[in-house]
Amino acid sequence: MQGFDVDAIRKDFPILSKPVNGKMLAYLDNAATSQKPLAVIDGIKYFYENLNANPMRSIHSLAEKATVAYTEAREKIAKFINASPDEIVFVRNSTEAINLVSMSLEFNRGDRIATTYLEHHSNILPWMRLKDAGVDVDIVDVDENFDLDLEYYKELKENTKLVTVSHESNVSGTINDVKIISRLAHEAGALAFVDAAQSVPHMKVDVKNLGADFLCFSGHKMLGPLGIGVLYISRDVQYGMMPFLLGGEMIRSVKLDKVEYQDVPAVFEAGTQNVEGAYGLGLAVDYLNQIGMQNIEAYEKSLTNHLYKAAEEVYGLSVYSGRSRNRGTIFSFNLKSLHPHDVAYLLDKEGIAIRSGFHCAQPFVEDKLHVEGTARASLYFYNTKSEIDRFIKSLTDINTTYG
Amino acid sequence: MDESKYYEFIDLYKNPEHFGKLKDFDASEENYSSSCGDKFVVYIKMDSGSIRDISFEGNGCIISTVSLSKLCGAIIGKRTAEVDNMQISDVKKLIGVDQISLSRIPCAMIGLETVKKALKSVAKHAKQ
């Protein structure tokens, strides 16, 4: 972690120095969305002032610049996860990526899909919809530490077509062993989908090493703009996928009696794309690379350990995350006798931003945590130990006043 | 909304008035907020077109619980049409708050919506 200077890093994020409710902002809602560095904010302005045109279509000089910007962004992002550019599809977010695959892969009556209890609604609902077409959907269970039941994957049912799993749970913070799960899926002849929305922002993710056929993440959780996300589709499984949205730039030839589609990624990028978003995400990746994903991971680990340790001193605190040996920066909790929204409200008065509610994971929160919502703090590499100390002190103060 | 208001609400939140199940009621309705996890059931006893008694059960945040508790107290004796016309401004008045942030309006409204739902179900039963 040599050379990791969090004070210098924070200067790159203008919003972090803006007061909230008259207090210094402590932004601890990074699992919902991250803040943006100047490199991304200024870059988007630069794009519209210098590069804007509709890429891949017109041939004038400006369109060429936009095409280069869009293409280079795809290359940078591919390299970031060790993929090839023709395996990178730009989408709006992870939700769209999962919906795309659920509609573009062919599923037949009697096929089986395995998702898990740890998933965000976006990795449950698109698959559940396929039940109407006669597809079976299994929900893989978790143990008391919220680790997935690996035995399930060792004996995958014969008709399993796809195994889908989050790399990191957005509630329990569990980091799942997606490498083993992908391998077990392949051994059983199934495809492997990894929802990496909560992991790609925080650690080095190498798709070839993980072995997944599909992997998705959202740009806005990793310093990029809102509305841009990535779906990785391994070259090995691209053949035979059906188009998702139909329209411009996803076709090779259109005759009224015969249509030929483009290959991946173009076939999945119908219509004018979010070029500003892709360009901005490329700049976010540059920024992350400059800090170094290994440095980010190491710093966040020490920050997370500091948080969990400090939390032990807070009376009446129930912690629902971090039980797994492998945990991310997510800290889900409740304070005795207060609703999570009220905790979030009272922390907000102190300038501390957290999330409260179901976190789009209602089955897990209700069936496994047996509560009607939790509060959640989630860290990123621009957070500091002193912000965590403020957070912990505020929890103690809330306890004293309202407990 | 001011934090001092929150503090003022805490006692009512912990021991809400009109909490529990009426022994005798004409209608009950449940309501659920998917974003918050708030869950309330309202029980209503009518008396010739007016609300004779009302109570609620369930769990929610300070704003939703206090709003519903105060609402119950305020509408006993009122006719269905009067309650149907109530809006967010009336709830704000009841709890004595001028400003509620956009994200908390559903909290303030879940009680009133449940009561309106229960009154509809009373009307439906009456027709049958």
Q: How many CB atoms sit inside 10 A of residue A240's CB?
A: 8
Please tell me the least confidently modeled range out of A205-214, A278-287, A360-369, B30-39: B30-39
Instruction: Quote the pLDDT of residue B5.
Output: 84
**Residue of A197, A238, A241, A234 whose CA lies nearest to A219:** A197
Is residue A90 within 8 Å of A230, Cβ to Cβ?
Answer: yes
Distance (Å) from the alpha carbon of B20 to chain A's nearest alpha carbon? 18
* β-strand partners of B58: B40
In the predicted model, is pLDDT for residue A1 greater than 60? Answer: no
> A41-289, which class in CATH?
alpha beta
Instruction: Quote the pLDDT of residue A81.
Output: 98
Could you give the CA distance from residue A142 to residue A257 in angstroms, rounded to a whole number?
Answer: 51
Instruction: Quote the pLDDT of residue A280.
Output: 98
3-state secondary structure of B80: helix
Could you give the CA distance from residue A71 to residue A278 in angstroms, rounded to a whole number?
Answer: 9
Share the mean pLDDT of chain A: 96
Instruction: Quote the pLDDT of residue A16.
Output: 98
Instruction: Tell me the count of A-B CB pairs closer than 8 A.
Output: 49
| A152-178 pLDDT, tens digit each | 999 999 999 999 999 999 999 999 999
Mutate to test the interface with B, among A171, A332, A341 (most CBs of B within 10 A): A341
Distance (Å) from the alpha carbon of B35 to chain A's nearest alpha carbon? 6
More confident residue, A360 or B85: B85
Instruction: Quote the pLDDT of residue A32.
Output: 97
Task: Give chain B positions within 8 Å (CB) of A358.
Answer: 34-37
Q: Dmax of chain B from CA atoms? A: 48
Q: What is the percentage of chain A residues whose pLDDT exceeds 70?
A: 100
Q: In what order do the strands lie in the sheet with A112-116?
A: A88-91, A229-233, A214-218, A191-195, A160-166, A112-116, A136-140
Of A341, A365, A402, the CB nearest to B107: A341
Q: What is the ipTM of this complex?
A: 0.86
pLDDT band at B34 (very low <50, low <70, confident <90, very high): confident
What's the token pair of residue A144?
A: 């008391």
In the predicted model, is pLDDT for residue A122 greater than 90? Answer: yes
Could you give the CA distance from residue A178 to residue A113 in angstroms, rounded to a whole number?
Answer: 16
**Average pLDDT over every residue of A312-340:** 94
Extents of the domains making up chain A: 6-30+292-402, 41-289
Instruction: Quote the pLDDT of residue B33.
Output: 81
Instruction: Quote the pLDDT of residue A282.
Output: 98
CATH topology of domain A6-30+292-402: Aspartate Aminotransferase, domain 1 (3.90.1150)
| A174-219 pLDDT, tens digit each | 999 999 999 999 999 999 999 999 999 999 999 999 999 999 999 9
Interchain proximity B34–A402, CB inside 8 Å: no
DSSP A263-276: PTTGGG--SS--HH
Instruction: Quote the pLDDT of residue A2.
Output: 59
Instruction: Quote the pLDDT of residue B122.
Output: 85
pLDDT band at B128 (very low <50, low <70, confident <90, very high): low
Cα separations in angstroms, B88 against A46, A113, A184, B2, B100: 44, 45, 54, 18, 10
**Residue of A192, A202, A247, A197 whose CA lies nearest to A220:** A197
DSSP H helical ranges for A188-234: 207-210
**Average pLDDT over every residue of A23-40:** 98
More confident residue, B33 or A66: A66
**Average pLDDT over every residue of A124-152:** 97
| A216 given a catalytic annotation | no
Domains and CATH numbers, chain B: 3-127 (3.90.1010.10)
DSSP A95-146: HHHHHHHHHHS---TT-EEEEETT--GGGTHHHHHGGGGT-EEEEE-B-TTS
Phi and psi, residue A180, nearest 5°:
-65, -45
- Residue A60's H or E segment, with its range, is none
| B112-126 pLDDT, tens digit each | 999 999 999 988 877
pLDDT band at B36 (very low <50, low <70, confident <90, very high): confident
**Average pLDDT over every residue of A339-368:** 93
Give A400's contacts (C-beta < 8 A, 6+ positions apart): none
Please tell me the least confidently modeled range out of A81-95, A126-140, A281-295, A365-379: A365-379
Q: Computed over its alpha carbons, how large is the radius of gyration of chain A?
A: 22
